[in-house]
Structures are given as C-alpha cells and as structure tokens.
Amino acid sequence: MSSLAAVQADGFYYPPTWEPKHGSVSKAAGSKGSNQYEQYGVIRFELPYNAWCEGCGRPLGKGTRFNAKKEKAGAYFTTTVWAFHMRCPSCSTEFVIKTDPKNSDYEFSAGIRRKEQHFDAEDAEAPVLADEDTQARLATDPMYRLEHADADVRRADAKKTRITRLMDWSNDVRGSDYDANAALRRAWRGARRERVALEAEAQARGLGVELLPHSEADAAAARAMDLGHSSRLRTMRATEKSRLAAIRASSIFAAPPPPSRGPASRALIVSGAAARKPAATGAAAAAAAAATKQARFQAAAAARAALPGSARTLRINASALVGGGGGGGGGGSTAVAVARVAVKRAASSGGGGGKRRRGAGESVGALSA
C-alpha cells in the first residue's frame, strides 16, 4: 500500500479543492451525512426513569426507546445542555427531556412526568459517598478526619464476619468441583432412567402421549373424582348382580315368569271383567242383551279377519257366541275366550298381522260396553 493510500485509509486525506471554510471533508464533498442524526438531527433515546404521559396517562417504563430530535437548549458553564423532543406512542403529546449537568441528572420538562423513586444506600448495602460538605471538612479538619477513619474501621469490623462467611461458602462451593459434578451427573442419570422407563411403558400400552411419574396427589384426586353417573352405575350393577344370582339359584324346570301385560292383554282383562258382571233386569236387560249380541258378532268378525291365510277358514261356534244371551254371564265369557284364541293365533302367525291384531284387540275391548 502506498503512502497516499495509507493516508486515505486513515481518513487524513484532504483533496486539493478543500479549504478550511468548507468544514469537514464530507461536507466539502456534498455528503448529507452517514446517519440520521447528521441528516435530520434524530437519535435513539432511552428513557432514564419510569414515567407517565401527561396527555393520556400511559405508563412508560425505564429503557423505552424513542426516535428523538436532539437540539441545543443552552449551557451550564462550558457544558452544553441538550433537549430531546419525542412523542407519546399512544397520543400526540410531545415530550421534552433536558440534560441537567449541575445535578448529573435529567429534567423532564414538558409532556411527561417522572416517577420519583428514592433508595437508601444502607438498605441496599451500597457504599455511601461523602457529600461536598463532608469532603471539605475532611480536607480541613484533622480531628474530624480521625473520627471519620475510626468510624470506617468499626463499620468494616462489623461487616467482616459476614464477608468471612461468604468467602468460606464460596471456597466450599468452588473447592469441591468434582463432587458437585458427580452429584449432578448422578441425578441426571436417575432422571434419564425414569424417563426411559415411562416411554417404554407408554409404548407397551399403545399410548401416543408422554406418561408422567406416579404422584400420590394425582391418585387421591382421581379417586375422589365423581363424574355424576357413578351412583347410577352402582345401582344398575347391584340390580344386575341380584337378578343373575336369583337366576342361578332357581331350578331349570321352574315355570317361566309371567309375561308383561301389554295393551291387548289389558283390553282382554277389562272385557272379561265386564262380561262377568250380573245381567240387568227388565227393559234395560233386553237392550243390554241386544248390544252385547251385536258386539259379539263384531268381535268374531274382527278375529276372523285378523287370522292370516288358511286360518281364516276357522269355524267359530255361532251358538257359543249367540247362545246364553239371556243369562249374560256365560255368553260373555265364551266370546272373550274365542277372541283370546283369535288374537293369540294372529300374533303367532306374524307377517302383515299388525293392523289386524290392533283391530281384533279393539273389537275384543268393545265387549266391555
């Protein structure tokens, strides 16, 4: 590299056309600046303290960054006072924060309110620095300087015990590196074996999820959990067990339990009970006999129609249906018996007998009229 190239690389090269009145070399070359501050006077500014926006009341945390415009706002002796202008992210309130060289601090001038937070150096166990008056007295008063030194010695002795204990603890921790490393490795191996065992158990059970280690708290919670239908399930299981026990204890030659009574059976029972009522006397008896006779013929016709195929040729004894009308009791019982036979045959035949069976049942129920 030539000497001229080295000068240019170090940034000390000035072209022949440059003059001191041009300022910097970049401005003489017509450059607008290499960053946004040189171009527009904008910098990245961080809030030094927690604050609130005075416009919308939004809290702003310490360290929040803004694009702030940096301007000169005066001077404190020979130190420049800078002002930073920015806007709230939630509203259009403008913040103005200035430097305070006198107090080595920042001044929140407009649009923003600082959160005052003060800490005690003794509570924070931080060294307390002497103020200006104390420093001036230490420099001019030998007796005060001696008393101040004695106070520092007593304060150091009081903290010596704690410092010694902390140093011992640090030496114990750092002095047994091998033992600490062995303990960590031992714990890690145990956790790895447990994890591998749980993965094998989940794979053996066909589960696609990770199993957790056994926990007595989880087991107690699962036992105490009630899904709402557990009591009904227990009742149903107890009923089923008692029924099966009764079936096992009974003989296989015992009579079967009576069937449940449906609507047709109830109609037959009602009809039979009505037919067994005593007959009325006089004109009312004659009218009742005629009505009963008509109902018997209708029941017989319905019973024959309910029978399928060849069963329709069934001969019903007309004298059994018509006879005994004067007495009332015998004829009614016979009609009920014949109707029962017809309904049973229709039920056993199946195949298209649904409507006919219903008709027969209704006709048989008419005998109670």
CA distance 274 to 296: 13
Quick one: 41 and 136 in the same domain? no
Per residue of the chain (369 residues), give pLDDT as tens. 556 666 555 566 676 677 888 777 777 766 666 677 777 788 889 999 999 999 998 999 999 888 899 999 999 999 999 999 999 988 889 999 999 999 889 999 999 999 887 777 677 667 777 788 888 888 888 888 888 888 888 888 887 888 888 888 888 777 777 888 888 899 999 999 999 999 999 999 888 888 888 888 888 888 777 666 667 777 888 889 888 888 888 877 766 555 555 444 554 454 554 545 554 455 666 777 777 777 777 776 766 665 554 444 444 443 444 444 444 444 445 555 555 555 555 555 544 444 444 444 444 444 444
The answer to the question of residue 184 being in a domain is no
The answer to the question of residue 193 being in a domain is no
The answer to the question of residue 185 being in a domain is no
Kindly tell me the burial class for residue 25, based on how many C-beta atoms sit within 10 Å of its own C-beta (0-12, 13-18, 19 or more): middle
Determine which helix (DSSP H) or strand (DSSP E) holds 80, and give its type and residue range. Answer: strand 79-87
CA 189 centroid distance within chain: 35
The answer to the question of residue 24 being in a domain is no
Quick one: 65 and 141 in the same domain? no
Q: How far is CA 328 from CA 166, 300, 365, in A?
A: 118, 17, 17
Quick one: 101 and 136 in the same domain? no
The answer to the question of residue 44 being in a domain is yes
In contact, 278 and 328? CB cutoff 8 Å: yes
The size of the chain, in residues, is: 369
The amino acid present at 53, given as its one-letter code, is C
Quick one: 162 and 87 in the same domain? no
Please give the sequence-ordered ranges of beta strands (E in DSSP) within the chain, or none if there are none. 42-46, 51-53, 59-60, 65-76, 79-87, 94-100, 105-110, 112-114
Quick one: 287 and 308 in the same domain? yes
CA distance 257 to 255: 7
Quick one: 348 and 273 in the same domain? yes
The answer to the question of residue 88 being in a domain is yes
Quick one: 110 and 126 in the same domain? no
* Domain around 153: 122-167
The answer to the question of residue 361 being in a domain is yes
The answer to the question of residue 236 being in a domain is no
**Number of structural domains the chain divides into:** 3
Quick one: 295 and 322 in the same domain? yes
Per the structure block, which two tokens stand in for 77?
């002796």
